[in-house]
């Protein structure tokens, strides 16, 4: 699968791949502060309760050179994906559900919203704590941790003629762009322009990146990509692993 971020402007040359699933991300948990009890109040220890919580999000990272996706468990083969992808990033899939030895995943391919089934033995599965929500009407990107809002960033999105596609996607790669206009970092998204079948020599893949045009933030100004202020994309690049889900509305 070709994986260049080319729906935003001129061809975006893939720079050095920077982060995979765990590199340079901040810890998802911090030590809890020590509990204190006022000296004048007598307390009775509460009974210990262990809760089992199913992870809200998870990502599957390929552990084989080629992952085949099927239309159903033990169904017909429909897609093949090379690992690593063209930029050098590991091949990843956002996991929708597990059925025995099969994983139902989002696929980084056209048409948008395509899902398939992959063998769990072909990947390693990891829990994700972060997610993103994009409001095209509100020109914003909201970061959540364990489905709790952390921060909202102003953003630029696609114009009326080249809109940002809506749906549920995930982050597929993280690059350091080498040409002007894209800021210090660019995430590839498993979404494709629905009006540009190809652009600048690439497949019209949507990205989330910085910008040299700060005045465009808060506007409908791109060819479909999501633009953030450079300091905001830098903060996210240090935090979000590949596979992070992103919902665009």
Separation CA 148–CA 134 (nearest Å)? 15
Supply the Cα-derived Rg of the chain in whole angstroms: 20
Q: In what order do the strands lie in the sheet with 57-62?
A: 77-82, 66-70, 115-119, 102-106, 92-99, 57-62, 123-128
Q: List CB contacts of 173: < 8 A, sequence separation 6 or more.
A: 3, 17, 85, 87, 89, 187, 188, 242
225 part of the active site:
yes
The answer to whether the CB of 146 falls within 8 A of the CB of 129 is yes
Terminal C-alpha separation, the chain: 26
Separation CA 90–CA 18 (nearest Å)? 11
Q: Which of 57, 129, 223, 225 is catalytic?
A: 225
223 part of the active site:
no
Bridge partners, 126 (sequence order)? 59
Q: Which of 57, 129, 139, 209 is catalytic?
A: 209
Q: List CB contacts of 50: < 8 A, sequence separation 6 or more.
A: none
Task: Note if the bond before 26 is cis, omega within 30 degrees.
Answer: no
Length of the chain: 249
Active site residues: 209, 225
């Amino acid at each position: 699968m070709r994986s260049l971020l080319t729906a935003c402007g001129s061809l975006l040359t893939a720079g050095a791949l920077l982060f995979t699933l765990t590199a340079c991300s901040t810890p998802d948990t911090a030590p809890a502060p020590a509990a204190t009890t006022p000296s004048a109040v007598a307390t009775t220890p509460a009974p210990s309760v262990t809760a089992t919580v199913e992870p809200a999000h998870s990502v599957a990272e390929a552990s084989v050179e080629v992952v085949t996706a099927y239309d159903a468990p033990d169904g017909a083969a429909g897609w093949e994906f090379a690992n690593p992808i063209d930029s050098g990033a590991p091949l990843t899939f956002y996991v929708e559900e597990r059925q025995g030895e099969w994983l139902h995943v989002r696929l980084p391919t056209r048409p948008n919203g395509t899902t398939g089934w992959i063998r769990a033995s072909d990947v390693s599965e990891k829990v994700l704590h972060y997610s993103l929500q994009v409001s095209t009407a509100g020109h914003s990107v909201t970061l959540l941790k364990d489905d709790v809002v952390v921060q909202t960033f102003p953003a630029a999105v696609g114009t009326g003629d080249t809109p940002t596609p809506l749906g549920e996607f995930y982050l597929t790669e993280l690059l350091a762009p080498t040409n002007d206009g894209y800021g210090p970092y660019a995430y590839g998204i498993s979404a494709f322009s629905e009006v540009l079948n190809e652009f600048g020599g690439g497949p019209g893949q949507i990205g989330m990146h910085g910008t040299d045009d700060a005045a465009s933030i808060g506007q409908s100004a791109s060819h479909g990509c999501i633009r953030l202020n450079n300091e905001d994309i830098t903060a996210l690049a240090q935090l979000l692993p590949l596979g992070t889900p992103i919902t665009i509305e």
